[in-house]
């Protein structure tokens, strides 16, 4: 008998009410918000269509025209207050992330911490939106660059990081002087409504936030398209599958809007002969099974050197066989549910295909937990004869493919031989291998790590990847520049008009 799981509905609704989500968010029919823990519908939400999305964009555009003139450090104060409100709401919002996305408790809380961290980062940034002063070739001239707010920033986020990825974009956008229209995944609208309520608390304390600075669009493809196609939105940051990016990217390009695309990953790690195998084992387990394999940074491919294969892979198979799968609210659970049936079906399909290719599958299969529409899967460790078939593509589920290698260059070539280019890592104590991996001739990904797995990045670095991952960068480093426009200014404080390049034009 599978263990009975208590309902999540009452708890979720109480959290939403406590955070201040208005009753008007709910409707008799509209978008079903469900919990993957039990599969039950938690709430039915009022849904946006093209017209209401356009109206929201209009409000955000008006807000931008006010917000852009608020001094940046003052804008930072709003984000500082948002960080304070998030600290106060951390337990509730983390719990709601667990209920709506199925993350285990510590990962739900970790996601809110990631929001707090980016708020702190953005507050500091609000006094550091620096431009350069540039030497000019003309006498009595000064040349400089100024960073100006850009406009309405569209944010399309995915179910797997339902709130943190919004905050990477929004915290920067707000200090940069932009307004934000957010379309969360239709699989996780409740956490977005909760965040909007938390934002409203910060806005109230701040005092003079223009209405429309943050708009949340609840809905599916139609609302998303309306956001992507609207000429009043000069930048869209979209997180999701490569297939989604292929649709969104060209639409934005067509109207010369800026795109920050964070798309699929097919992240790999190399385990070299000198690797610390205890450390590698832990790193691999978290990166491959954490978040039930539903991070875009999840470890999906593993290349293990022949000399350590037999010391590592059977141990790994044992960890896969014993990892605790179940209610993500229960202490000790490491693997919660997949988001829905489609995710489970995708996993089954990939496992059937690799079995036909001669792979040995450890784990996999459905666990009868939570109810008819709850989809818990045992993580699968798949020993592959070679890199082929589904291993070349991202399946958003906990499948780790393992391939044996003997030559480092071959492993590197296999590592880079996929479409996606998000994250990567190597486990080695050999300095030459480590440095080669992070060198120009090494990993081709946006994130390349040594002796840690590919997932679980901090916000201080720029986050994103190359190739079919879309090329966008969010969060730390100088990712803020994407949310502003740069003006180059040349100022003549002299009495003559010398022309650049020595051109003469005497009239
Ligand atoms: C994502 O899966 O879309 O690096 C984001 C990580 C997290 C973010 C993942 N900080 O795994």
Interface ipTM: 0.98
H helix and E strand count, the chain: 13, 23
Cβ–Cβ under 8 Å, residues 470 and 134? no
Query: What is the pLDDT at residue 20?
Result: 96
What pLDDT score was predicted for residue 260?
98
The verdict on the CB of residue 422 being under 6 Å from ligand 1 is: no
Ligand 1 near 434 CB (within 6 A): no
Question: Measured in angstroms, how far is the CA atom of residue 472 from the centroid of ligand 1?
Answer: 14
Q: Cα dist. 351→160, 360, 380, 440 in Å?
A: 22, 10, 8, 34
Which DSSP symbol is given to 231? T
Which ligand 1 atom is the nearest neighbour of the CA of 294?
A: 2
Which pLDDT does position 1 carry in this prediction? Answer: 47
User: What b/e sequence results for 433-457 when a residue is b if at least 16 CB atoms lie within 10 Å of its CB, and e otherwise?
Assistant: bbebbeeeebbbbbbbbeebbbbbb
Answer yes or no: is the C-beta of 294 below 6 A from any ligand 1 atom. no
Q: What is residue 133's three-state secondary structure?
A: strand
Distance CA 400, CA 302 (A): 7
**Are 447 and 424 contacting, i.e. CB atoms less than 8 angstroms apart?**
yes
Two tokens at 380?
A: 């699968």
**What is the Cα Rg of the chain in Å?**
24
Could you give phi then psi for residue 427, rounded to 5 degrees? Answer: -105, 110
| Domains of the chain and any CATH numbers | 8-262+478-483 (3.40.605.10), 267-459 (3.40.309.10)
CA nearest ligand 1 atom 7, residue: 456
Q: Where are the beta strands (DSSP E) in 208-326?
A: 214-216, 235-239, 258-262, 267-271, 299-305
The Å distance, Cα 297 to ligand 1 centre, comes to 6
Whether 457 lines ligand 1, by a CB cut-off of 6 Å, is: yes
Quick one: tokens of 350?
A: 């990939």
d(CA 228, CA 250): 10
Task: In whole angstroms, give the CA distance from residue 321 to residue 305.
Answer: 23
Q: How far is Cα 356 from Cα 313, in angstroms, rounded to an integer? A: 21
pLDDT string in tens for the chain (507-residue length): 455 566 899 999 999 999 999 999 999 999 999 999 999 999 999 999 999 999 999 999 999 999 999 999 999 999 999 999 999 999 999 999 999 999 999 999 999 999 999 999 999 999 999 999 999 999 999 999 999 999 999 999 999 999 999 999 999 999 999 999 999 999 999 999 999 999 999 999 999 999 999 999 999 999 999 999 999 999 999 999 999 999 999 999 999 999 999 999 999 999 999 999 999 999 999 999 999 999 999 999 999 999 999 999 999 999 999 999 999 999 999 999 999 999 999 999 999 999 999 999 999 999 999 999 999 999 999 999 999 999 999 999 999 999 999 999 999 999 999 999 999 999 999 999 999 999 999 999 999 999 999 999 999 999 999 999 999 999 999 999 999 999 999 999 999 999 999 999 999
β-bridge partners, 381 = 362, 400
Atom of ligand 1 nearest to the CA of 295: 2
Among residues 153, 165, 226, 228, which one has the least CA distance to residue 195?
165
Helix (H) or strand (E) holding 148: strand 141-149
Give residue 51 CA to ligand 1 midpoint distance, Å.
33
Collect all residues with Cβ–Cβ distance below 8 Å to 100 and sequence separation of at least 6. 12, 33, 35, 36, 42, 162, 187, 188, 190, 191
Q: Is 53 in the pocket of ligand 1 (CB under 6 A)?
A: no
- The residues that are catalytic are 262
User: Is the backbone of residue 502 left (phi > 0), alpha (psi -120 to 50) or beta?
Assistant: left
Give the list of residues 6+ apart from residue 50 with CB closer than 8 angstroms, or none: 222, 223, 225, 226
* Interacting residues of 431 by C-beta distance below 8 A, sequence separation 6+: none
Q: How far is the CA of 118 from the centre of ligand 1 (A)?
A: 13
Q: What is the pLDDT of residue 6?
A: 65
The Cα 32–Cα 26 span in angstroms is 10
Atom of ligand 1 nearest to the CA of 298: 11
Ligand 1 atom closest to the CA of 114, numbered from 1: 10
Beta-strand (E) ranges in 213-320?
Answer: 214-216, 235-239, 258-262, 267-271, 299-305
- List the Cα angle 154/158/163 in 5-degree steps: 80
Ligand 1: centre distance to CA 319 (Å): 23
Which residues are paired to 44 by β-bridges? Answer: 32
């Amino acid at each position: 008998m599978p263990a009975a799981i208590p309902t999540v509905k009452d708890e979720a609704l109480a959290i939403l009410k406590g955070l201040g989500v208005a009753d008007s968010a709910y409707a008799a029919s509209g978008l079903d918000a469900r919990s993957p823990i039990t599969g039950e519908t938690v709430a039915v939400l009022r849904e946006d269509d093209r017209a209401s999305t356009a109206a929201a964009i209009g409000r955000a555009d008006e807000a931008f025209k006010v917000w852009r003139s608020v001094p940046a450090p003052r804008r930072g104060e709003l984000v500082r207050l948002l960080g304070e409100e998030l600290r106060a709401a951390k337990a509730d919002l983390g719990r709601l992330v667990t209920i709506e996305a199925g993350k285990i408790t510590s990962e739900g809380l970790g996601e809110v911490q990631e929001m707090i961290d980016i708020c702190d980062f953005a507050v500091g940034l609000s006094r550091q939106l620096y431009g350069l002063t540039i030497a000019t070739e003309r006498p009595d001239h000064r040349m400089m660059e100024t960073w100006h707010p850009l406009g309405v920033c569209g944010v399309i986020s995915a179910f797997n990081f339902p709130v943190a990825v919004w905050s990477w974009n929004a915290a920067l956008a707000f200090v940069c002087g932009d307004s934000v229209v957010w379309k969360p995944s239709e699989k996780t609208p409740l956490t977005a409504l909760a965040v909007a309520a938390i934002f409203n608390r910060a806005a109230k304390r701040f005092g003079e936030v223009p209405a429309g600075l943050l708009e949340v669009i609840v809905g599916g493809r139609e609302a998303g398209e309306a956001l992507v196609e609207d000429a009043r939105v000069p930048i869209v940051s979209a997180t999701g599958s490569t297939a989604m990016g292929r649709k969104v990217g060209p639409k934005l390009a067509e109207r010369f809007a800026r795109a920050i695309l964070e798309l699929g990953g097919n992240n790999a790690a190399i385990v070299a002969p000198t690797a610390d195998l205890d450390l590698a084992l832990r790193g691999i387990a978290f990166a491959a099974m954490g978040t039930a394999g539903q991070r875009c940074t999840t470890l999906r491919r593993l290349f293990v050197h022949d000399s350590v294969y037999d010391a590592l892979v059977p141990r790994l198979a044992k960890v896969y066989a014993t990892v605790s799968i179940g209610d993500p609210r229960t202490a000790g659970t490491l693997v919660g549910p997949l988001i829905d049936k489609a995710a489970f079906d995708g996993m089954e399909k990939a496992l059937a295909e690799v079995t036909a290719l001669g792979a040995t599958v450890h784990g996999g299969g459905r666990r009868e937990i939570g109810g008819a529409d709850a989809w818990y899967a045992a993580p699968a460790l798949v020993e592959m004869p070679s890199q082929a078939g589904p291993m070349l593509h991202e399946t958003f589920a906990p499948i780790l493919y393992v391939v044996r290698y003997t030559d480092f260059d071959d492993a590197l070539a296999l590592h880079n031989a996929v479409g996606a280019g998000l994250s990567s890592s190597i486990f080695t104590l050999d300095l030459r291998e480590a440095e080669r991996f992070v060198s120009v001739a090494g990993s081709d990904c946006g994130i390349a790590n040594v002796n840690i797995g590919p997932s679980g990045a901090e916000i201080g670095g720029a986050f994103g990847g190359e190739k079919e991952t879309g090329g966008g960068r969010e969060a730390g480093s100088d990712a803020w520049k994407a949310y502003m426009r740069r003006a180059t200014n040349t100022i003549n404080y002299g009495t003559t008009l010398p022309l650049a390049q020595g051109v003469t034009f005497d009239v």
